């Protein structure tokens, strides 16, 4: 009996694996992805040294950790008041001594909540975990939209895509988390809209009349007498809204393209979303954003405000313009002024068509030529096949891709980012790549479709007794393409530029040595003026961001030095430069600068001292 039971279990497991082998492979791929991407932070950080290479990451981690430990998100520092609200790192704002995030609160609330459950030590590894989950969701979503084979290939391409890896490793950025949350919402939206294929069954006239009577008796919007699959669709609708809401609070600015994309998708599939589903989706969104509204009110005095003052002003202007449009339409007046106001607030940093197209060329076509080429070939294949057989889903997919890409390219492409010190270097660390991650992700399934179609075309060359060989050739082509993209992606993200992960790894270790030496040379309560190292020095030391000579910084330093040691850490100054500052710039503030230690070839630490001004006497005349 035992042998029979074991044999039956083995057969059942074999059957399960045979039917779901792609999912098992994707699960292994996701697990390996998590381990490898997590290893960067594991190897570069220790319990007493958790630092980030971006001010945004540093701020997100600081506030998420505070939240996980049960502290207020805002941090009060009296030195900020004394120092004219200048004592703070980048990506912070100071409101009367209260240091607050200049960011969207989603990642802080979500990671902080998970950190409160599992411990704050998990926070640096949460983005790799979500990104690994994103690979699984991407497979499931693309399998639903296209096919399981395209889903498997797409998941592999995503797992080795350089931008996805890079911003997973740089785990306190919002972008990968946002994309995963939106992918999850999209998956549940597809499940909620999925229609079961109806089998054509011949019914008698009596049966049809009876069915019509039952339909008439059903409530229009909602009934408790639902089939299990209908209950599931309602659950999927709520979950879609919940994940959409989490995505919105993670990067609220992305509503500029997310809202139009959702509206366009609804236009295509409005028949599949009844009133009940819409209410559940909106309910899920509202439930997810309630904590964000609450903390916005606490931190910024309005549930709709955030850390960006410019965005807050834009919200006010758009709100006023919206009400102005309504009043003008009612009165029959011109609405041109209000439309212009909305336009200028959406494109707050301007609209630059030529620059946008140039950046798209650098960060899409030139940076990822193979992705762009195969996407183009896949697009040609799809539109060619549409001439023979119409498929509505392709129209929807490319309509959404065109809408999203156009908005993202012209919205973010009009901005000027200087993440790389050399503006002529177009590298993976520049913000365009993370802002355009949705574009890359929507290109990947079309590339996978091309690989699939091309492999089938190869297989057709082999007929008769060579059919088996043709199948092996097709499989070899797919595997070779995956190996090529994997090798190319890993090489790109590890060694592709001065911002590759290998270079970043050694830079982080070197910076750690410098920062530890700074800590050894300064007091715990010290204030350090620095232009680049605030992300490494804070919160162990207070910081002012800037360089000398700067009148506002010197004025603040004049006040601070009465209460705290004040240092300056920046490029090394020779004796002549220090003499110039001490003789011409600093005496007006009763300050003097002296070298503490040269930390590296380029940077040095200096300390301010206070000059006592003696009163004039008759002997001085």
pLDDT by residue (tens digit) across 295-347? Answer: 999 999 888 877 776 666 666 556 665 566 656 656 666 666 656 666 666 66
Q: What percent of the chain has pLDDT over 90?
A: 66
Environment class of 48 (CB within 10 Å of its CB; exposed 0-12, middle 13-18, buried 19+)? exposed
The whole-number average pLDDT for the span 87-107 is 93
Burial 457-484 (b: 16+ CB within 10 A, else e): ebbeebeeeeeeebeeebeebbeebbee
What does DSSP assign to residue 366?
I
Output the average pLDDT for the chain: 86
pLDDT at residue 13 greater than cutoff 70: no
- Reported confidence tier of residue 112, pLDDT bands at 50, 70, 90: very high
- Give residue for tokens 């919002």: 174
The pLDDT value given to residue 225: 66
The whole-number average pLDDT for the span 13-38 is 84
Top-ranked range on mean pLDDT: pick from 158-172, 379-393, 599-613:
158-172
- Give residue for tokens 């007091």: 523
C-alpha dihedral, 430 to 431 to 434 to 437, nearest 10°: -90
**411-445 pLDDT per residue, tens:** 998 887 766 666 677 889 888 999 999 999 999 99
Is residue 539 reached through a cis peptide bond, with omega within 30 degrees of 0 on the bond before it? yes
Any residues with CB less than 8 A from the CB of 348 and at least 6 apart, and which? 310, 311, 314
Measured on CA atoms in the order 41, 45, 48, 49, is the torsion positive or negative? negative
pLDDT at residue 620 greater than cutoff 50: no
What does DSSP assign to residue 250?
H
The pLDDT value given to residue 324: 60
pLDDT at residue 364 greater than cutoff 60: yes
**Full-model pTM:** 0.88
Q: What is the C-alpha separation between 459 and 136, in angstroms, rounded?
A: 29
pLDDT at residue 25 greater than cutoff 80: yes
Any residues with CB less than 8 A from the CB of 264 and at least 6 apart, and which? 399, 400, 403
Neighbours of 212 (CB within 10 A): 10
DSSP-derived 3-state class of residue 498? coil
**184-230 pLDDT per residue, tens:** 999 999 999 876 655 555 555 555 555 555 544 544 444 556 677 78
CA angle 56, 59, 62 (to 5 degrees): 150
The whole-number average pLDDT for the span 533-542 is 95
**217-265 pLDDT per residue, tens:** 544 444 556 677 788 889 999 999 999 999 999 999 899 999 999 999 9
The pLDDT value given to residue 57: 96
Burial 167-192 (b: 16+ CB within 10 A, else e): bbbbbbbbbbbbbbbbbbbbbbbbbb
- Answer yes or no: are the C-beta atoms of 424 and 496 closer than 8 Å: no
- Answer yes or no: are the C-beta atoms of 436 and 361 closer than 8 Å: no
The pLDDT value given to residue 229: 79
The whole-number average pLDDT for the span 497-501 is 85
Beta bridge partners of 606: 568, 595
The whole-number average pLDDT for the span 380-405 is 88
The CA-atom distances, in angstroms, between 604 and each of 80, 538, 578 are 25, 18, 12
């Amino acid at each position: 009996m035992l042998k029979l039971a074991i044999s039956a279990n083995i057969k059942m497991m074999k059957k399960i694996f045979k039917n779901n082998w792609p999912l098992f492979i994707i699960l292994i791929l996701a697990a390996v992805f998590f381990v490898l991407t997590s290893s960067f932070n594991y190897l570069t950080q220790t319990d007493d040294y958790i630092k980030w290479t971006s001010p945004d990451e540093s701020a997100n981690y600081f506030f998420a950790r505070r939240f996980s430990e049960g502290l207020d998100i805002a941090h009060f520092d009296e030195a900020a008041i004394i120092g004219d609200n200048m004592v703070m790192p980048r990506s912070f704002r100071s409101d009367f001594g209260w240091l607050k995030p200049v960011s969207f609160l989603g990642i802080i609330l979500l990671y902080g909540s998970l950190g409160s459950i599992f411990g704050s030590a998990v926070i640096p590894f949460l983005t790799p975990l979500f990104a690994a989950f994103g690979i699984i969701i991407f497979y499931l979503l693309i399998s639903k939209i296209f096919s399981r084979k395209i889903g498997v290939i797409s998941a592999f391409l995503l797992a080795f895509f350089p931008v996805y890896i890079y911003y997973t490793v740089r785990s306190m950025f919002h972008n990968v988390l946002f994309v995963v949350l939106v992918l999850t919402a999209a998956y549940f939206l597809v499940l909620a809209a999925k229609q079961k294929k109806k089998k054509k069954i011949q019914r008698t006239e009596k049966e049809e009349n009876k069915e019509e009577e039952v339909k008439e008796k059903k409530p229009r919007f909602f009934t408790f007498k639902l089939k299990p699959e209908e209950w599931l669709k309602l659950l999927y609708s709520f979950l879609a809204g919940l994940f959409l809401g989490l995505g919105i609070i993670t990067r609220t600015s992305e509503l500029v393209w997310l809202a139009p994309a959702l509206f366009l998708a609804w236009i295509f599939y409005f028949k599949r979303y009844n009133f009940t589903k819409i209410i559940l989706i909106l309910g899920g969104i509202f439930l997810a954003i309630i904590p964000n509204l609450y903390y916005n009110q606490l931190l910024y005095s309005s549930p709709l405000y955030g850390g960006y003052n410019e965005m807050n002003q834009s919200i006010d202007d758009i709100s006023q313009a919206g009400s102005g449009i309504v009043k003008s339409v009612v009165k029959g007046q011109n609405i041109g002024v209000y439309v212009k106001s909305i336009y200028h607030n959406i494109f707050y940093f301007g609209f630059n068509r030529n620059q946008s197209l140039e950046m798209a060329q650098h960060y899409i076509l030139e940076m990822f030529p193979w992705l762009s080429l195969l996407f183009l070939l896949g697009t040609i294949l799809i539109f060619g096949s549409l001439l023979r057989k119409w498929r509505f889903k392709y129209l929807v997919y490319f309509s959404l891709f065109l809408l999203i890409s156009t908005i993202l390219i012209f919205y973010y492409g009009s901005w000027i980012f200087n993440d790389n010190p050399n503006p002529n270097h177009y590298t993976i660390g520049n913000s365009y790549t993370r802002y355009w991650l949705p574009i890359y992700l929507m290109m990947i399934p079309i590339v996978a479709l091309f690989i699939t179609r091309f492999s089938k075309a190869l297989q057709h060359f082999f007929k008769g007794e060579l059919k088996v060989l043709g199948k092996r050739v097709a499989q070899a082509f797919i595997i070779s393409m995956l190996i090529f993209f994997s090798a190319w992606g890993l090489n790109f993200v590890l060694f592709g530029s001065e911002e590759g992960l290998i270079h970043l790894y050694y830079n982080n270790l070197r910076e750690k040595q410098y920062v530890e030496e700074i800590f050894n040379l300064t007091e715990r309560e010290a204030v350090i003026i620095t232009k680049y190292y605030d992300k490494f020095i804070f919160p162990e030391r207070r910081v002012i961001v800037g360089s000398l000579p700067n009148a506002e910084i010197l004025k603040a330093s004049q006040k601070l030095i009465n209460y705290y040691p004040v240092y300056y850490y920046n490029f090394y100054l020779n004796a002549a430069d220090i003499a110039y500052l001490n003789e011409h710039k600093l005496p007006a503030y009763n300050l003097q600068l002296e070298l503490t230690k040269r930390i590296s070839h380029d940077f040095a630490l200096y300390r301010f001292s206070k000059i006592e001004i003696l009163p004039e006497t008759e002997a001085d005349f």
